[in-house]
Amino acid sequence: MSSKRPLLETSAVVPAAQDTEYHRVALVVQYVGTHFHGWQRQPRERTVQGDIEAAIATVLGTPVTLCGAGRTDTGVHAAAQVAHFSAPTLIPAHRWASILNSRLPEDIVIRGSAAVPGNWHAQFSAQWRRYRYTLYTQPIPNLFIRPFSWHYYYESLSTSQMQAALDPLVGYHDLTAFQRTGSKRSHAWVELQSAKCRRRDPFITVELQANGFLYGMVRLLMGILVQVGRGLLSVEEFTQLWRCKQRERVKYAAPASGLCLLRVGYEHFPFAPDVWYDTQPHFALPLVSNAIAV
């Protein structure tokens, strides 16, 4: 996954003179998180931010800082992460996508690049983020699905009960129960705008949209939501758990492989919907009994 694509653009470094004008460039970034230690740059670890910053530096000949809309954890994917950086106006903003794609490894793609106002910020201008979690419930493992799902086949899951447990979460709540230790946030209040659980046999997806997410929130929530789906925890017990901030009862986090940052929403966004909206495909498998030719 770490091999480089053939260079499609000139590899010459663009020097920045003292009087060079700069503009802010926004990127829509897609990545398979399997081999990354998350988004945020870390010493001696491979990260998405680190790989993209290194690619930009090969063009500009100087270190840059890439600001992302959110920090995905180790192993988590992104269909349309958003980031921005400053670059000389000498390079048109729309060209950065192809320039970087020629320098990035195969598990990162820049789906689009565009100029944005100087006060636009990938993180602070965002109004919401949306995540999708995918479970694969068929007992037989599937290698092509494994990197992007939680293979949960132990017990049948009731999506109606899972949805009933999610409904009270919509609104502005203190979700301390779903926050991992080590968070630097000063509070755990989250405005959850949407929570949907759907079944597409043999797949179950849960999509959550909020103004922001706590550290480890979706994986912790999914880890106990499946207990509701199995009937081991009632909807009322689940609701009481988070309303009473019973973090000690949330013991397990769902695997990172099933989680994907689906998209980020802004009031003013310079990209067409086909660049950023719902770009993680839904998995679908035919019913074998209907698919076999007679």
Collapsed DSSP state (helix, strand, coil) of residue 104 = coil
> At which residue do the structure tokens 């009960």 appear?
161
d(CA 241, CA 239): 5
Cα separation values, 195 from 98, 125, 192, Å: 35, 22, 7
Q: Report which secondary-structure segment, H or E, holds 235.
A: helix 235-243
Is 73 designated active site?
Answer: yes
Q: Which of 262, 243, 275, 33 is nearest to 128 (CA)?
A: 262
Cα separation values, 119 from 23, 57, 85, 115, 168, Å: 11, 23, 12, 12, 36
Collapsed DSSP state (helix, strand, coil) of residue 58 = helix
d(CA 222, CA 264): 20
Amino acid at 140: I
Catalytic residue among 73, 174, 201, 278: 73
> Where are the extended beta strands (E) located within 160-293?
171-174, 189-200, 203-210, 259-266
What is the chain's alpha carbon radius of gyration, rounded to the nearest angstrom? 21
| Catalytic site positions | 73
